[in-house]
Structures are given as structure tokens and as C-alpha cells.
A and B are shown apart, each in its own frame.
Chain A
Amino acid sequence: MRISRRNFLKGSATTLFLAGFNFSVLANTSKKKNLVVIMLRGGMDGLCAVPIIGDRNFEKRRKDLILDKTIKLNSDFALHPKLKNFHNLWQNNLGAIVHATNIPYTKRSHFDGQNLMETGGHIPYAIKTGWLGRGMKLAELKGDGLALALPMPLLLRGIPSNDNFFPSKKRLPRTELLQLLKSIYAEKSEHDLANMMEIIANRSMMNNGGTSMSRKNSSLALKAGLELKKINGPRVAVFEVDGFDTHAAQGGVNGSHSDSLIEMDSIFKSLEKGLGSEIENTLVLTLTEFGRTIEQNGGRGTEHGYGSAIFMVGGLLKQSQVYSDWPGLKKKELFEGRDLNSTIDARSVYASAMSTVFDIDFKRIQKEVFWGDDLQNLSDKLFKV
């Protein structure tokens, strides 16, 4: 393990200075660019997905959970051996990681944490819209959001007319009936319902007459990739992967945390397949509520922690890299003596990503989406600007 905080800060001093200038307003706006967010629910263990190499503190504290045959990414970090698709992307400069990062939430409740990872706020349940929805509103992307889930995630709320897809096995009633309901909703000032009915009545892509389509994330991602590829298709997509809350039997390479990571990895693969060459104009990011404790617990699992990692995929990435201001894993370096610290506000990554994909000045996003919170513009370090 060679990485240290000091080295990192030295290496990035010049770019920090430049961060105040914004070049993204000059970016080429003719291309349709896509942003995909994959929500990893339950607390993704960044140290299981992207373990540090050669840290004795780490190996000692998790001896039953150390993975065999990890894939070496650089001198400091390795990759979970089952993340084969991500590794392929990495090798083609289409995959990167931000490590030791999280939203600024430290209380370890899933429900509060998941609420905040979606709203981007500080007080649980205080904000009724998602940071992605607010970013889309700023970019005037009405009707450009697609959730691959049965409910509409909070993350996308804040802009009307988002679509979702989770194939039904039955056929829709006839169009006149849908139109009638739409007009009733409109008359009764039920604007949300009217909007939804409008989408249902008009969309062609997904009502394939009751033929049953798989609802697996890998299949949904293929469909989403094909939609995002279309020039008039959606520009934002959101996925959900559950099952990261492994208090027990987290296991090693074949454990339950691996199962959820593999599901995430299958989304990367199907998106790439569906998008084809448009992967070049796409950015995929993961989002979780917190990482997990360094130390394994009594049931060979881990407890709720703090710092985690963000997986990033797509052609809008600057390069393959593990971007981190590594805080270290010695007891005094840990958050409250137990968790990997977060040295990068994850919202800096998301704000920079929206700035890059939506072609909006970072400072506007910072101010209007994140209430002027103290965020860093990482666009030129992480993305092609």
C-alpha cells in the first residue's frame, strides 16, 4: 500500500486551483449525452468491492471476509474478482472508481441514509425531490427520465413526466379509455396522474401487448440501453439493486454481498450492449447510503459504516483510475474508530457528473441543486470536459 493523503494532495494542487474556472459551458452541446444512476441499497461495502492492497489493519480486522484472487487495478487497489464486466470496461478506459467517498451522512440508518442519498440533503425526509430530478429541471429535461422500477424513485422526483418501465404481463385497456381518464385527471387538477396517463397513452416502446419480458436488471438494462441510444429517447435512467445489507454471511467471493455486486456488474454489461457506440456519450454512476464497518461482526457480516466507493462507467470518463484521497485504515484514521472515512463528498461527484452530462455550469448545480453546499468541481479530474 503506497497511497497516502499527502501524496494525493500534492498531485492535485494545480487542478484544485483550476477548478474555479468552468469550461463545461463551452462544451459541445450537439451530442445527446446520457446519465445513468444505479442505486445500491443496503450499504455497499466499498472495501469488499475495491479492497486496498497490502494493508495489515484491513487484513487483520476482516480475516474471514478477505477475498481470494482479486483483480489488481493499480499498486494500491484491487477489484472484486466477480466484477468481470467492470474489469473489461476498465481495461478499455471505460471504468473508474472514486474511493473513500460518501454522502455527508454519518448516522447509519438505512432509511434516513437512503432518503438523503436520493434527496442530496442533510435532514432526513425534509426534501421531497431528488438531486437528479432537480438537476434535470435545471437542464430543462422534462420527460427525459426513465426509472427501471415499479415505483418512481425519489431520486428522479422534482421534474414532471418521468417514465418508468417494469413490464406488466397484462394488456392495457383501449386508448379512448386512457384518454378519458387523462381528461378527468386534468379537470380535477390531478396533474401528476394526468401526466402519467399521458405517458401511458402515448408511449410506444414498452406496451408490447402482454408478451412477458423479464424483469431482471440485466434485461431491463438492455432495454434501457436501447432507449437511451435513441436520439429522442430518454437521457437519464435510474436502476435499483437491493441486498447490500449483509449483517450476516456476507461471505467471500461467493457470499451474499458478491451476489448484489454481480447484479450491478450485469447492468454495466447490458447497458454497454444496448447502447452500442453510444456508451461513448454516456456516464453511469453508482450511489449508496453508506459503506460498511472495516471489522467483521459476529456473524461474518459487517455493520453499517460510513465511507464507501462509487463505480463509474462510460465514455465520458477521463480515464480508468481509482480517484481517492485515501484516509488510511489505522484506528485513529477511521471514522469514529470503526469505519472507512469519507474524504470526498459523493455529491461533488454527482454534481460534476451532471455538469458534464447536462452541460450546465458546475456552480449553478452547486447553488440550485445542492443549496450552495461546499462541493468540489471534479469534472476535469474525472470526466471528459
Chain B
Amino acid sequence: MKNFYRKVAFGLGPEDKIPSDPLDWATSQLNDIPEYSWKGKILSEKELRNYYRDYVYGDRKVLRKKFKNDKEGYKREKNKLRHATGQKFWWNLELCIRYSEALKSETPVLAKLWYFWGNHFAISEKDFLAQYTTGAYQREIIRANMNQNFEKMAQEATKGWSMIHHLDNEQNIGPKSQSAKWAREKGRKVGVNENHARELLELHTVSPNCGYSQDDVIQMAFIMSGWRPEWGKKRLETGDVHFDPDAHQPGSKIVLGKKYKSGRKGLSNAITDLVNHPSCREFIAMKLCRYLITDNPTQEMMEPIIKAWEKSDGFLPEVHKAVIEVAFNYSDQFNKFQNPENWLLQMSKMADVDLIPSPAFMDLYKIGTKPIRDQRALEYLMDELGQHPYLAKQPNGWSDISEDWMSPELLIRRLVYAREAYYKKSGNSQTKEFYEEMIEKNYDNPGEILKIIGQHRELVHKHVILFNLPETLRS
């Protein structure tokens, strides 16, 4: 049963008391969205998007023109521009905020689910979104909506600047729209871009299981045409998302047999129908089980989550409680192979690893300067482990399938970074007694584990073995 603490959160740290009622300990973390545990500076998505604006404008509109015959000069000035807009720093600050929720908050269960949703509505590697806005998007649109209905999260994620830009919806122009006519008069060809519409159906809501057709995708794209950042000479593509009727495909559209009128309300109405489609709750129940419990969720596992969804109209705290309860009931039968990020956080929490730089240290950063190496430690580390949360390769985010995290090189990363982590522990946690207590608290077979790690004398080796035991890799 003790693997439950690791399964739905990151285990129990040295300061944590053993909960008298584990299920209640977990589910009581899911009602509200507390303030961030990070006590340093936190920027809004809008502020960060403005830095991104300054970067793209400075690069595209100023430097490329000014230095068109001077490659070296361009390189030098572009580097200055990167620092002037904090390109190397902000995403490290975001990682500090993100990981504080796992390690320093009273709500690690909420944090683990936050990472799930951030990955469900993933902003994958594109342009420099990761360096500027992805972290803030995950806070303001994903985390902030974890005490709301799924629909609200889906509406806001879909119309959020990050998603619209990431999935090219600004290029989705109705072929019969006014904008398309103007473009044709100028000899330019414009038309529908299906990318965002397809992912809304496939990844974010109903999934291919619901049986939509290519026609549905195109009709959905027509509904979405015109949703784009407000263009400005200085803002370029970084303006707030608005509905531009000139770019919208006129006429009604039909998606999954349902008719939607032309205009700005079409998208909201379509999302409402998508999130209420049975395939949507089945898909998300399956994904939640796969994230926390097993690669191959059973119908019995998914059933209570689907029920909770139906009863609460997709109210996320109720959906979350249902999945946590299922995880609790199955905790002795199933162990889930932990992805690198969750594994690292588990190790950091239980072994008291000083993973996150302090707020005071991060706040020393001055815009325009090059961040110091230790301020960038988390960015390097996540990249090395193979799972930087803002750099998923594709819009389907990072995988929840165990095998995708198994390879000799990935195992090597766990070995070498377990060792690195040991040296980031405070002196008073580098004792035999500390490990005995931690193992007692977090594992169901402490005797066996102590015997295994007892085969090595040095504590650092015990540490590396412990965090690479099957009992730790799978929780």
C-alpha cells in the first residue's frame, strides 16, 4: 500500500507525517487550487509573451535586415537580444515553480495531476514557446482550471494563445472567407489549415475512437477558421487571440452529425458538444488510469471515473478523486513505471535532494544579462533525463507507456543522475539512519530493501541502488 504515496504523488519526505487515512490524505488535496509554494518572482503569461514578442520582432524585423550582409554581427546581436528578453532564464524559473508544487507544497497529488493535464493539452517544441510562454500557459490555463469543469479547461486551452499559435490556427482561413478573397486578388493562395482542428478532436477531446471522418476534421477546421492572434505591426503573431470574422468560413458546418451556425459562437458550441461526447470521458478516464496505474487500464478501472464524470458533469475535482480512489484500490496489484520527471521528483522528495534553486538565488537574475549556470541547472537536467516538460516532441505530449521510457541510455541516465542527486543532499540527510527511516516510510518491503542496499558500504552507492530498484522505478 505504501507505493500509493509514490503512485499518486512523490512519496513521503522526511518532514511528512504518515497519513492516518491515506485515501483521505490524497483526495483532500484536490478541492482547491492553493497559491504557489514558490516564493520568488512569478511572471504572467502576458508579460512573458511580451518578452517573446520583443524577441521575434527584434530578430525578424530589426536584426535580419540590419545585418543581412554580416553573419557574425547578426549572431552577436542576436545573442544580446536573447538575453535582453530572458530567453535562457524564464523557463528555468518556470521549472522552479513547477517542481516546488511537487516538493514543497501541501498538495503533491494535485501537482502530479497538474503534470498530467499539462501533458494532455501539450504545447510541444515549436519556435521558442518553451523558453517564454509554455510554463505560464500550464499555470494560468491548466492549473488554474483544475477545480473547474473539464469543459472550461478545454475551452480556454483551445482558445489560448499558446495552443492557437502552436497548432497553426492563425493560418486557418476559410477558403470562401473575405480574407481569402482579398488574398486571391493579390495573387496569394490561402485556405484551411487542419492542424489544430484535428488535434482538438484526436488528442484533446473525443479521440479517434469516436469515429470521426476527414470531413469532420475539415468542418471542424472551418468552425475554427478566424480564431487567431490579433495581428499588429509590432506584435506580429503574439497578440491576444480574437475571432476575426473576415477569416471565418461562411455558412453552417456539420461535425459528428451536428450543425453549427457560422460565426464566433461555433467553436464554443462545438467544444461543449465534444467534451460531452461519451468518447471524451472514456478517453480521458483511460489516459488518467494509464498515467497513474497501468499501461493497460481495464474497463473496471475506468468505470468509476466515467461515472464520476457523468455525475458531476466533468467537474475535475470529482474526476480526480475517482481516479485516486481507483489507484488506491489497485495499489497492491499494479505498479506504474515512472517517467523520468516523476522519478526525479520522487527521489528528490524522499531523499531530501536539494533540486530547486532558492527563490532568492533565482531572483538575482537581471534581465539583459546572461543567467549563471546554476540558474539553468533544471533545464539541463531535464534535457539530460530525456523529458523536458516543455519540449515534448509532438502535440501528443510525452508518452505514458512504460516501454517508451526503457532503453539502455535512459537507464544510464537514472544511474548517473541518482548519483549526482546524492551530492545535492544536505549533510544531515546523508546518514544511514535517514535512509532507514525513509525506506520504512515509503516501501512495503523495507527489510528486503535494506538487505539489498546493505551489500554496498558507501551511502552514495546505497542511494543509487535504491533509486534504481524495481520497487522505485515502478510505483
Contact = CB atoms under 8 A, between A and B. Distances in A.
Interface of A: 41, 63-64, 107-112, 124, 128, 147, 149-152, 154, 157, 163-166, 168-174, 176-178, 180-181, 184-185, 188, 190, 192-193, 196-197, 199-200, 203, 242, 247-248, 295-299, 301, 303-304, 336
B455 A180 contact: yes
A111 B456 contact: no
Given A110-B394, A180-B455, A247 B407 contact: no
Contact of A193 (B411, B413, B456): B411
12 contacts: A41-B394, A110-B394, A128-B403, A149-B409, A150-B413, A164-B408, A170-B416, A172-B416, A173-B419, A177-B464, A184-B470, A196-B408
Contacts of B407: 147, 149-152, 164, 196
A168 B394 contact: no
Interface stretch (B49-57, B80-88, B186-194): B186-194
Contacts of B417: 170
A184 B195 contact: no
Contact of B415 (A149, A172, A188, A297): A172
B384 A192 contact: no
Nearest to A174: B461
A368 B200 CA distance: 37
A90 B441 CA distance: 64
Interface in B82-104: none
B311 to A, nearest CB: 29
Contact of B452 (A63, A184, A203): A184
Contact of A184 (B193, B208, B394, B469): B469
Contact of A298 (B189, B394, B411): B189
Nearest to B340: A150
A108 B464 contact: no
Contact of B168 (A152, A188, A248): A248
* Most interface-central of B193, B409, B410 (chain A CB within 10 A): B409
A64 B189 contact: yes
B166 to A, nearest CB: 11
Given A177-B456, A242-B393, A151 B410 contact: yes
B291 to A, nearest CB: 16
Given A111-B202, A177-B456, A165 B409 contact: yes
B4 to A, nearest CB: 20
Given A151-B386, A184-B452, A298-B192, A112 B208 contact: yes
Contacts of A111: 202-203, 394, 396
B413 A168 contact: yes
B306 interface: no
Nearest to B416: A170
A193 B473 contact: yes
Given A173-B416, A193-B473, A248-B171, A109 B465 contact: no
B214 interface: yes
B18 interface: no
Given A193-B406, A248-B168, A297-B193, A168 B384 contact: yes
Contact of A192 (B190, B406, B413): B406
A378 to B, nearest CB: 30
Contacts of B193: 247-248, 297-299, 301, 303
Nearest to A114: B394
B61 to A, nearest CB: 16
B420 A298 contact: no
Contacts of B394: 41, 110-111
